Structure 1
Amino acid sequence: MNSNTYVIIGMLLLSKLVFSQAAPPIKGRVVNENKTPLEQVSVALLKQKDSTYINYTLTDATGAFAFQEAPKDSLLLQFSYLGYESYFKSVAYNNKPIELGEIGLKEDTYQLEAVTISAELPIQIKEDTIAFNANSFKVNASDNLETLLKKLPGLEIDSKGKVVAQGNEVTKIYVDGKAFFGGDPAIVLKNLSADAIAKIEVIDKKSDEAELTGVADGNKQVVINFTLKASKKNQGFGKASAGIGLDRRYFSNFNFNKFSPKTQFSVIGKLNNINITGSNIQGFLENTDGIADESDDDDSQIKSSKSLSGYLKTGVAGVNFGHEFKKKEVFNADYFYNLSDNRGTSFSKRISFSNTNNFDYDAENTFNKVSENHNFNFNYKNRSNKRNSLIIRGRLNADDVLQNTSKSGFYYDEDEALQTTNVQDYRNKNTKKTLFFNLNFYQKLKKAGRSFSVGFNTNISQKEKDNTQHTFITRNISSDNLSNSEILSLRDEVFNNGQYKFNFKYTEPLGGYHYFKFQSSLKVLNQKEDIYQLKTIITDANAEELLVYKYNNREGSYQNRMAYSYSAKKLNVFTGVELQELDRVFGVVDQDNFRSRQFYVNPFSTLQYKPKQGVKYRFVYKRIIRSPRTHESSTVINDLNPFFIRRGNPDLKTEKNDDFSLLANIYNYKSSLNFTGSVKYKYSQDAIISNIAIDDEFVKTRSYINSGNRKRLTTAFNFSKKIKGLGVRYALKTSSFYDAYTALVNLQLNDVVAKEHLMGLTLENSNKNVMDLKLGTQYSVNNTSFSIEQDLDRTYTKQHYFSSVDYDFTKQLNFNTQFDYFVFSDNQFATNLHLPLWNMAISYTVKNSSNIVKLVLIDLLDKNVDFERRSTTNYFEETTSESLGRYIILSYTYRLGQGNKRER
């Protein structure tokens, strides 16, 4: 056979390949009722006999779709697009291409709770909404929504419990399109079962005004809506759990939900002493109740990724009620009670530098913090009239916190000689009551695009703080001039704050997609302080120092905005200028007050471009004027703590901040590609910075000044994609942080530059019928440099290796385990820390899925430690805290409303 023969055979094979690609078994084109092509329509291929899922695809920009392979059988095509009625088409495939031509979809009145997914479609996309089918992600019978959410591409829950989607923090979470416990993500995610959910929608939500008028106003937020399975909407469901373990450990959890088409009702409750605030055992690393301390620093550059410390007891009770009076007229209310009792011991080592007298500080803390919180929310939305809408929201909150702390501190000079010790006992009792009320009314006028809105909101609070502090100080230990002093301080504080804001907005159409917008607002802030302080110096014949005063801070801000808006399908522009007049009057009552009045011109601009479905670019710029906070400009010295004195500066100027952000989202779920990138830059003029003075007796005095500029740059990039043929998804993550600012330390400017870089890689299987497998690593490095002490420039690294396995031996028997390994290193501390954490759980579900027995083993290696390192303006600090350590819990869960059939 000669070469020409090979060429001919090759050409025949190529033509066969080209022909087979040009004539797929089934193809067509999807349009709406106006014959406009619909992009990103989900098309599922099913067996007609039993609706078994075969494959799915998405339409392209011309509305075209094609299946390259199809079995010879009677088939069913399902067409699904958010906001449109699902359409089914039967076909009989006999190895001959089928040309379906145009498939028309009818538009449906879009409601968050109205979309039903029949086939196992992993993803659907419609304009600003991405919907995931919950059945495409493996969950266990005992998992809550937090576990489900962590499995979705493009979403993550950070170390502080914040939900991040499309590069933005999720501010609200809804169930069936309605508020659930005020939309608080933490409550919703930890208290609803994952297997009750049919669909998860991530929505780039417009403002309430833009939804009514259809005209973009630059205000958007990312929200998540969970749609319940149909079987859960007409019967009660939930679960009751209880567990006991070694060392008197216990937990209990109860939730019951009943959702009808018109009414929502939910009750939740829990009580445990195993250091968790939610119902998920894995959440023990995300507890945010840490050491009860005075938190004297607000410029820390390194913050702990987990803040579990001590021993925590938590009690929770809540009830949620929602009712739809008629279509688009809804009322929701909820009450939530939380009890937290946190106690333990921590040890701190601090390296301080102050240019003239550097020193080290070691401390041992014993703390006990008990807090009770009552929270009542309500909101009323009436959008039943197409031309106007009314939204009313309110919140009542009451907090009661009792905190006792004992601290022993040791001060060493540069030669490591002990110079001073102090023993302090604190008792702080804080009570706070808050009322928040918001009303907004939106009205469309007769001319298309013309509208106005009026709004009012108020935030009124009263806070009472009763502080008792006993301090015993020993100075000059290494010399012959040793001295002791003992001080008892009492400080009672009452704060009454009121903020009131009125606003008016008007929109005028200019023709086509062009609009003029005008906004006028008035904000009034009134803060009152009533202070009584008595210091008794016991070692000086009980000498007393009395400080009594009333302090007022009043601020008025009047703003007028004029903006141009361009609102088209692919491009939205919102840009303009704000004229702001700011008045401040503050000072001690019955004394001469400080007064200031400034006028500012603040530009702003938002641009969003969506060239095609699944691709979005967004740019935002705004100038924000920040007034000095009350404690920064106070004319009264706070010397309650003799080692940390706070002094305000009434001559502070406002801080001018220019914020720039660029966000890019690319979602191609046909190829399973997900990319999110963000770049944020903040430039501050007349930056308000710390003015720190430290004397020879280690007393720190903090004040504030305006000094120069501050620059802050943050970047974050996330990329994930499936590896075809392996059933594995990989995710790459990188982020960077740059912060350059100045502080004044003992009359010398200290230029501080902090840089942090993080890189991460995660691998997890995407075929999760039987097993979840996840492997990954994160590496971060922080470099902090200081101009006054260059030899103390710091490099801090953290390595995190993690793995988890979730395996179903049978439909009833499940095993899961998580292993985390942390490595902390720091050039300013002598030792590195290696921290392995290993958790495990085995659960058995009875065949009817109503009963679950679970054995949970936490911290099997019994490390019993929490660890934190941080950098601030003039010191480094390392803190280790005792924590719960190893414990074992055996639990039983009864699932309500399960019936005899296991649901998909």
Structure 2
Amino acid sequence: MPKGVLVLIFITLSSFSALAQKAVIRGLVSDTVENRKLQNAIVTLIRSSDSVIVKTTQTNPEGLFEISNLYRGKYMLQISYPKMADRLINVRLSDTSVQYFNSIYMELKSKILNEVVIRGTKKPISLRADTIVFQADSFAVRSNANVQELLKRLPGVIVDKKGNINAQGQNIKTVLVDGDEFFGDDPLLATKYLKANAVEEVQVYDRKSKNAELTGIDDGIKTKTINIKLKENAKNGYLGALDINTGNSDFRDYGAMGGVFRGKFKAAVFGTYSNLANESKINNSMRKLKGEDYDIIEVGDDGSSVMYASGGDYDDDYGSPTGGLPNNLNLGAHLSDRFNANRMGIKMNVRAFDYRSKNLKTYHTQELLPNGALYISSGKNNDQTENTGESVRGTYSFNIDSLSSLKIAFGARESKTFSNSTSLDDTRSGKRFFISQNNQVNTGNGDNETFNGNINWSKRFKKRGRTLSIDIQPESQSGKSIENSINNTRYYDEFGIINRIENINLNKDNTNHQNSIGTRINYTEPLSAKWAMEASYSFKTISSSSFRTVTDNNIRKIDSLSNNFRFINFSNVGRVIMQYKFSDFSISTGMEATQTRFDLDDLDRMNDFERNYLNLSPSTNLFYKINNSSTISVNYNGYMQQPDITQLQPVRQLNNPLYQIIGNSALRPSFTNTLGLSYNSFQFASDQYISGSFTYGFTNNAIVDTEIVDEFNRRISSFTNLNGNNSLSGGIYYSKGFSKLNFRLGVDLGFNNSNNLSVINFTENKIRNTQYNLRTSFNYYTPAADVSYTPSATFMTGKSSIGGLNDGKSLMHDHEFSGTVQLPYQLEFNTTVSLTFRPANSSFGRDFNIAIWNSYLSGKMLRNNALEVKLQVTDILNQKIGYNRFVGGNVIGESTYSYIPGYILLGLNWNLSGNFLNSSRK
């Protein structure tokens, strides 16, 4: 990278401190009766604009105090002393103010109790069971900051440039407000549009399944969640946003949203359009709007045990493009409310979407076979996809009485898809002679309809801990599609001379239907003050049909590729869990047994395939609260995995003559064991946080891939059982705050080691991958300047038992410099430089180093800074490319893909969310 860039970074970041001059407040505190100098009086400086605590100190034996390194603005100085009333003094500072309060007199509460303001203080960080609680006012942020900026100040919480949140090493998928969804549970909505000064507490915890929340018995199903608790005067208001961004090369990013919330009532409408990968902030925030979630009764045709997921996830999976050049349109609305003395509630979400993407990809790989043969493959693929549709999701809930409730949830979706893919692939030998070439064009379009629902009745009995719940879940899916596949394959002899040519032109007409009904009954009983039991029974039956007609280019049916299947699955699931709780210790252990029978009827060939399964899944979860600041948990889960129908008897397809799948009806079930350990500790006085987690897993009779590769690189894939798959991973996170220096240090160390087996040409291939990660962060923050440096490094090794093309080692390290400074006249300037280094290794003989420099200048105006004008420039050095490398075992490869180049974007963001908070002081 040019030295000039490093110099520019240094100058830019160094200039931030020069832009912020410091002010000082000094004073003397004494009482009014004896004029006695008061030692250890608590002096707190509070920012007037949002009541955020800026700094806290105590008086010395002479009653003197000093607060330095302050920035201009309006503040409130609060002085507290036992048995005396608080003193509140308004302070206005310029950039270089030195204010001295010669005599601050304190009076007894008994004399002026009716005139004083008494403030209670709370610990900045505390532990409530397994929940970490942060007092929002204890973490300084700039005025008008949103919740996302507040989260960046919290120890153990990481927010990246895209708004993704990580807490204690786990990704945050759900953000609640006052324990409920806030126009849906997507993290971006609440963190982008709620203001930090409206927040009382931020709670980080493992959200349990709906069943565990009802019964109080831990079933091991958890989702890392953040709950934002609002101040009382901030729970009613409105949101409004208009986001218009336009740039060079016809780049556009538009969004608009309006919403109101009053207590439990919430309503919102939104619309977005974007052809940029980052999309509109509104689009990202509103993507996951959905109704009440519930635990899905889901049993696959492989007989796998009941799986639990959020009942709204179906509504999120629109196949939104993750690569290439997007072009996305979203429209939607949300309504939720509770009424009739909070006994009844409704939630409704409607969506319309149109996602389009184009992606040009290339690849180049080298593969070593057991006989020492080297295959060099290259290819180019041009993809175009479209996905349009509508969806609706809703929930009705009714509290029948104080102990029982009824919930009815439903979701429906209709979508149309189109795809077009053109690929050119070839394989050469180690001598660079052609082995085979394949040219393929695939087009298709389809229509899909989905409905799913849940009816839940729950009852809590007067005996504490005794509960009963019943779920009924109907589901249906249907789809129709038409596909065309044109394939030209050329085969070469050992000297690279064409041997033969094969042409295929297939037309496919597909129709499928599926209906299912599931029921679950769950009962819990407290056996004693410390022991409790949970017992449940579930069943689900699935009936589906699949009809496929395949014809050639002369419209003649090809019987060997056509099919007419009917499938019936019936499953019974029983589960028992015992839980012991005493003081700060709890342990739950149980067993789940699943009996499944499925019948697959081939109506064309009059063949039947029948199978019966019995799966066992033990689990144990242990939790111990060591003290008020430390917790430890241990968990074990085991599950049996049956081979699915595609592994036993796949439907024959001929999209590509170079690839074929053959089933193995002799496959046995596999059993996986997973053991996990996690630890969390806060040292409140020293502002220090430590967490660690480790996971080990191994599989007996693992179902692994087998592959036969011939001299033309034709591959026949199947499956077999082997022992030896295992993995070990872990990580340690450390964070330390230095409040007097406005500085925070973070260190994140992780590793992953895995062993995976496969079979190539009847030879067992054991691939061992090891990865070590180190990430550190250095952050200096004041309301006027935010400067950070985040370096990270990853070292990977990959070895194969059949041999390697290299030593399998690769190293990469990244460095991100970021600085934001508040300038006069409500201006904000940011510059971010991301450096990526991929040194040359035994697989790739050249370095891959790039520097991505982005910057923006924004100005805020109008009341509460509601209007923001922003000029953004990305990839100033024009170094961004779409490129990946892979090094592992007997295969190495590199690939390219379409990407959005650097652009200049002028944006206008009108945000009224700041106006919902009444201007009252806590």
Question: What is the TM-score of this pair, normalised by structure 1?
Answer: 0.80
Counterpart check, 1:869 vs 2:885: yes
Amino acid at match of 2:801: S
One-letter amino acid of the counterpart of residue 830, structure 2: N
**1:404-423 maps to which residues of 2 (within 5 A)?**
404-423=420-439
Residue 636, structure 1, aligned to residue 651, structure 2: yes
Correspondence 1:363-762 to 2 at 5 A: 363-382=379-398, 385-476=401-492, 478-536=495-553, 547-586=561-600, 588-589=602-603, 591-723=606-738, 725-762=740-777
Structure 1 partner of 2:868 = 852
Deviation at 1:74, TM superposition (A): 9.9
Q: In the superposition, relative to structure 1, how do residues 454 and 201 fare at CA in structure 2: closer, same or farther (>3 Å)?
A: same
Trace 1:734-883 onto structure 2 (pairs within 5 A): 734-765=749-780, 767-810=781-824, 812-825=826-839, 826-848=841-863, 849-870=865-886, 875-883=891-899
2:364 equivalent in structure 1: 349
Instruction: Tell me the residue number matched to 2:316.
Output: none
- Corresponding residue number in structure 1 for 2:251: 249
Q: Are positions 1:884 and 2:900 aligned together?
A: yes
Q: How far apart, CA to CA, are the structure 1 residues paired with 2:753 and 2:238?
A: 51
Residue 179 of structure 1 aligns to a residue whose secondary structure is: coil
Cα shift readout 1:273-320 (whole Å, capped 9, x = no counterpart)? 22223428999xxxxxxxxxxxxxxxxxxxxxx997432222222211
- Amino acid corresponding to residue 449 of structure 1 in structure 2: G
Q: Is 1:202–2:204 an aligned residue pair? A: yes
Farther-moved stretch of structure 1 (215-224 vs 248-257): 215-224
Distance of aligned partners of 1:628 and 1:788 in 2 relative to their CA distance in 1, 3 Å threshold: same
CA distance, structure 1, for counterparts of residue 282 and residue 507 of structure 2: 41
**Partner Cα separation in structure 2 for residue 634 and residue 602 of structure 1:** 26
Identity of aligned residues (%): 19
In 2 relative to 1, CA 74–190 (structure 1 residues): closer, same or farther, beyond 3 Å? Answer: closer
Q: Indicate how the Cα distance of structure 1 residues 214 and 706 shifts in structure 2: closer, same or farther if over 3 A, else same.
A: closer
Q: 1:181 touches 1:377 (CA, 8 Å); kept in 2?
A: no
Residues in 2 aligned to 1:440 and 1:225: alpha-carbon distance in whole angstroms: 25
Distance 2:108 2:599 in 1: 76
Residues 510, 337 of structure 1: alpha-carbon distance in 2 compared, 3 angstrom cutoff? same
1:468, 1:491 within 8 Å by CA — same for their partners in 2?
A: yes
In structure 1, the gaps of 5 or more residues are: 1-22, 28-42, 58-65, 80-87, 101-116, 284-305
> Does the Cα contact within 8 Å between 1:213 and 1:449 map onto a contact in 2?
yes
Q: Deviations over 1:214-236 (max 9, x none)?
A: 55555443322334566664432
Q: Name the residue aligned to 1:235.
A: 237
Residue deviations 1:546-605 (CA, integer Å, cap 9, x gap): 522123444433232222212344112111233332333335235332333243443211
Q: Contact conserved, 1:732 with 1:762, CA < 8 A, in 2? A: yes
Structure-1 separation of matches of 2:510 and 2:161: 34
Conserved in 2, the CA contact under 8 Å of 1:216 and 1:566? no
Residue number among 266, 269, 285 corresponding to 1:267 in the alignment: 269
8 A contact 1:193–1:238 mirrored in 2:
no
Task: Give 1:873 deviation, angstroms.
Answer: 8.0
How far does the alpha carbon of each residue in 1:798-851 deviate from its partner, in whole angstroms, 9 at most, with x for none? 211111111111361001121111122453233331122111111011152122
User: Cα distance 1:481–1:593, how it changes in 2: closer, same or farther (>3 A)?
Assistant: same
**Cα gap change, 1:327/1:480 in structure 2, threshold over 3 Å: closer, same or farther?**
closer
Give me the whole-angstrom Cα distance separating, in 1, the residues matched to 2:406 and 2:743.
48
Q: Say if 1:439 and 1:457, in contact at 8 Å, map to a contact too.
A: yes
Structure 2: distance between partners of 1:855 and 1:118: 44
What amino acid is aligned across from residue 491 of structure 2 in structure 1?
A: R
> 1:44 Cα shift?
8.0
What's 2:333 paired with?
A: 319
| Residue 63 of structure 1: aligned partner | none
Q: Deviations over 1:365-420 (max 9, x none)?
A: 22222222534332344457432233443332334332212222121111122333
Cα shift at 1:198 = 5.8
Q: Secondary structure at the match of 2:431?
A: coil
Q: Equivalent residue of 1:247, what SS?
A: helix
SS of residue matched to 2:172: strand
- Could you give the per-residue CA deviations for residues 753-802 of structure 1, whole angstroms, max 9, x where no partner exists? 1111111111112x331111110111112211111123445223221111
Structure 2, unmatched stretches of 5+, are 1-37, 66-75, 89-102, 110-118, 286-319
Please give the secondary structure, in 1, of the residue aligned with 2:910.
strand
CA shift in 2, pair 1:388/1:269, >3 Å:
same
Given candidates 906, 910, 917, the residue that maps to 1:894 is 910
- Partners of 1:685 and 1:52 in 2: how far apart? 56
Equivalent runs, 1:130-149 vs 2, <5 Å: 130-132=132-134, 136=139, 138=141, 149=151
Go from structure 1 to structure 2 and tell me whether the alpha carbon gap of 1:431 and 1:130 turns closer, same or farther (over 3 Å shift).
farther
Give the distance between the partners of 2:812 and 2:858, measured in 1 at CA: 33
Moved more, 607-616 or 469-478: 469-478
Counterparts of 1:229 and 1:411 in 2: how far apart (Å)? 64
Give the aligned length: 809
Residue aligning to 1:6: none
Q: Which has the higher contact order (CA 8 A, sep 6+)?
A: 2
TM-superposed CA distance for 1:210, in Å, is: 4.7
Aligned-pair CA distance for 1:708: 1.9
- The one-letter code matched in structure 2 to 1:559 is V
Question: Take 1:608 and 1:693, find their aligned partners in 2: how far apart are those partners?
Answer: 48
Structure 1 vs Structure 2 CA RMSD: 4.1
CA distance in 2, matches of 1:67, 1:510: 56
* SS of structure 1 residue aligned to 2:783: coil
Alpha-carbon offset, residue 727 of structure 1: 1.8
Superposed, which structure 2 residues align to 1:28-427 within 5 Å?
53=53, 90-91=85-86, 123=125, 125-132=127-134, 136=139, 138=141, 149-156=151-158, 163-185=165-187, 199-212=201-214, 214=216, 216-227=218-229, 233-279=235-281, 309-325=323-339, 326-327=341-342, 329-356=344-371, 357-382=373-398, 385-427=401-443
State the SS of the aligned residue for 2:643.
coil
Shift of 1:685: 1.4
8 Å Cα contact 2:543/2:567 also seen in 1:
yes
